[in-house]
Structure 1
Amino acid sequence: MTPKERIVEQTMEMFVTQGIKSVRMDDIAQRLGISKRTLYELFGDKEGLLYLAMVCYFERNRLRWAELSTAAPNVLERLFLVLNDVMEHSETTSRMMENLRKFYPAVHERLMRGGSEKNRADFREMIEQGIADGLFIDNIDIELAITVLYYTASAITVRKDMILPEGISERSAFTQIVSTFFRGISTAEGARIIDGFLKRQQAAQG
């Protein structure tokens, strides 16, 4: 890891734990033991450093998803593990993205555009793999399926703009919505895998 990458990673941790708005360039310089001038020379301004720190945050998430995926015996369980992890970290992600939207809209827009493209590419690869493995039906509109999954999931995990029925938690709603979506595009074998995975998950949660 280069000195610049180390600064980005440590700054990302500060934004996560202390909040994006409250962390100043002075705070970063003091915490990292470097001059503020060095920060400006390396990153231009706070927005330049903030963007790279947020990219680091989302790349760390993607690495964690890759690690989770190695334990999955098939692409359907891989999808569930990744989406469950998204839900697990949704409060932090939602808070940070909302702060960006309010106080740093240009950074927010840049991240949304780039992140959406990466996430859609990941979902596309997994759905195509599911079709090839006989777990998803082969006559679906893949781009439409990706759009429905992406925007429905983000409505609960990031945007927080889905109005849920009284008495249902976000986690329960997320699980039901995601499992219903995948059942809708699954073959009989895919549906069997979904049911088995959900039963194991329920047993593990007590």
Structure 2
Amino acid sequence: MKEKILEKATDMFLNLGFKSVTMDDLANEMGISKKTIYSHFENKTHLVDESTSHLFCNISDGIDYICSLNKNPIEELYEIKKFVMVHLKDEKSSPQYQLQKYYPKIYGSMRARQYEVMQDCVVDNIKKGIDQGIYRENLDIDFVSRIYFTGVTSIKDHTLFPVDKFPMAELMDNYLEYHLRGIVTPKGRKILNSIINSNQE
């Protein structure tokens, strides 16, 4: 039952926002009593903490799997972006913003975990790209991986990028292209252009 509550809560938080969903909403949606929820989670903060952790682990496992497929590094980044967008429901309810505002401690620890996972993933991606001759040899890998992480998290700031002007899927595509155009070689640019063209068809 705990797993079912976690799955449903995570789904509702992503679709409606961490602040918006109450324990009553969750109980009604699942057709169970609030008492049942409280027997597994002492309060809403505990539930938010576990559901963000649950989501984080699912996404990390999915990213690890994509990286294990040994695709070319440019394709790999597009696959990861697609996978993350599906899992985050295109971030319709700006969950990151609500998490940051109403649960800052949970947000802080989540961001630190996110940074570790992304840093390893992006560093590996850059090294592979350099080895394959599709990213420039003279890149400062540490700088590029950190600036990439900063950008990915900053584009989710709705005060900077209001959703009505910058739909999340488009924003992620634009950011990924911006990142890649700065680091590819002419060989990499051909791969990038063919992926972008096939995505537009």
Q: TM-score range by the shorter chain?
A: 0.7 to 0.9
Q: What code does the residue aligned with 2:197 have?
A: K
Partners in 1 of 2:16 and 2:170 — Cα distance? 29
> Is 2:32 aligned against 1:43?
no
Q: What code does the residue aligned with 1:183 have?
A: R
Partners in 2 of 1:181 and 1:124 — Cα distance? 14
Partner of 2:109: 110
For 1:122, what is the secondary structure of its paired residue? helix
Partner of 2:128: 129
Partner of 1:10: 8
CA separation of 1:36 and 1:199: change in aligned 2, threshold 3 A? closer
Aligned pair count?
198
Which structure 2 residues correspond to residues 57-136 of structure 1 after superposition, within 5 A? 57-62=55-60, 73-83=71-81, 92=91, 95-136=94-135
Partners in 2 of 1:14 and 1:139 — Cα distance? 45
Point out the more displaced range, 26-35 or 63-72.
63-72
Aligned-pair identity in percent equals 25
TM-score norm. by structure 1 comes to 0.75
CA separation of 1:177 and 1:95: change in aligned 2, threshold 3 A? closer
TM-aligned CA deviation for residue 60 of structure 1: 4.0
CA separation of 1:50 and 1:129: change in aligned 2, threshold 3 A? same
TM-aligned CA deviation for residue 96 of structure 1: 0.9
Partner of 1:186: 184
Q: What code does the residue aligned with 1:50 have?
A: V
| Structure 1 unpaired stretches of 5+ | none
Which structure 2 residues correspond to residues 113-192 of structure 1 after superposition, within 5 A? 113-156=112-155, 158-162=156-160, 174-192=172-190
Root-mean-square deviation (CA), in Å?
A: 3.3
CA separation of 1:94 and 1:128: change in aligned 2, threshold 3 A? farther
Partners in 2 of 1:181 and 1:14 — Cα distance? 32
Partners in 1 of 2:50 and 2:114 — Cα distance? 13
1:95-129 Cα offsets, whole Å, 9 max, x none, are 11111222222222221221222222221222222
TM-aligned CA deviation for residue 25 of structure 1: 2.7
Partners in 2 of 1:170 and 1:20 — Cα distance? 18
Partners in 1 of 2:30 and 2:167 — Cα distance? 40
Q: State whether residues 81 and 172 of structure 2, in contact with CA within 8 Å, keep that contact through their aligned partners in structure 1.
A: no
Q: Which structure ranks higher in relative contact order (CA pairs < 8 Å, sequence separation ≥ 6)?
A: 2
Partners in 2 of 1:135 and 1:182 — Cα distance? 10
TM-score norm. by structure 2 comes to 0.76
For 1:139, what is the secondary structure of its paired residue? coil
Partners in 2 of 1:70 and 1:87 — Cα distance? 19
Q: State whether residues 27 and 37 of structure 2, in contact with CA within 8 Å, keep that contact through their aligned partners in structure 1.
A: yes
For 1:44, what is the secondary structure of its paired residue? coil
